[in-house]
Structure 1
Amino acid sequence: MNNIMNIDGFKAIITYDNEIEMFRGEFINLNGGADFYANDVKELRKEGQKSLQTYLDVCKEKGINPKKEYSGKLPLRISPELHSQLVEASLRQGISINQIVQNSLKETLI
């Protein structure tokens, strides 16, 4: 399981890289890549702030929106059996398959 660090309103996934024996952070939900490394959490936060600021400066300079925007559409492949079960559940509950999937995802993410 990875941890998430919030830096100035942006979230970064934090992992430990055994090969270089350092913590690694990588910002998520950006239109580009921004990562950072450090030996301890305090330094990791500092390096994250530097990396983020550099990224935001470049985006501003190039007129790019720094945050990735999502369409809300999620292509999903499932087995025919599960699809059949979803149709039955949808009819039984009187709601759309989309609503069943949304409800399940919300429940999982809580």
Structure 2
Amino acid sequence: MANTIEYKGYIGSIEYSSEDKLFFGKIELIDDLVTFEADSASELESNFHNAVDEYLQTCKELGRKPQKTYKGVFNVRIDPKLHQKIHQEALKAGISLNAFVKNLLKTKIPTA
């Protein structure tokens, strides 16, 4: 996603309607629908922050946990031979398969 903004771990989409002369977006990667809009890009960012804060407050008032964009768990299907090779390399390194793959990903995609 190229046109996004981030606040408190939530990602918002950024779109523009030339017909309405309006910026708009929504919080991505959650099941709830939370939208925001503005006349300018700077106002859009502020309105996105307000939308996230209001979403968190509404969840608190309703007594439910706000959805997080990611839980940190995903499955990847790979060739069995590659799976075996990765596991062998993890054993040689003296770490779990999960830790080995996590380290590989961190070298390619630095985290904040």
**Fold agreement, TM-score > 0.5:** yes
The answer on whether the counterparts of 2:9 and 2:69 sit within 8 Å (CA) in structure 1 is no
| Identity fraction in percent | 30
In the superposition, the TM-score normalised over structure 2's length comes to 0.65
* Distance (whole Å) between structure 2 residues aligned to residue 5 and residue 23 of structure 1: 13
Match of 1:46 in 2: 46
* Distance (whole Å) between structure 1 residues aligned to residue 47 and residue 69 of structure 2: 25
In the superposition, the TM-score normalised over structure 1's length comes to 0.66
The answer on whether the counterparts of 1:12 and 1:25 sit within 8 Å (CA) in structure 2 is no
Residue correspondence of structure 1 range 38-77 to structure 2 within 5 A: 38-68=38-68, 72-77=72-77
Q: SS state of the match for residue 89, structure 1?
A: helix
- Across the aligned residues of Structure 1 and Structure 2, the Cα RMSD in angstroms comes to 3.1
State the Cα deviation string for residues 13-49 of structure 1 (Å, max 9, x = none). 33335xx345443335767332323343112123213
Match of 1:103 in 2: 103
- Matched residues, number: 107
Structure 2 alignment gaps of length 5 or more = none
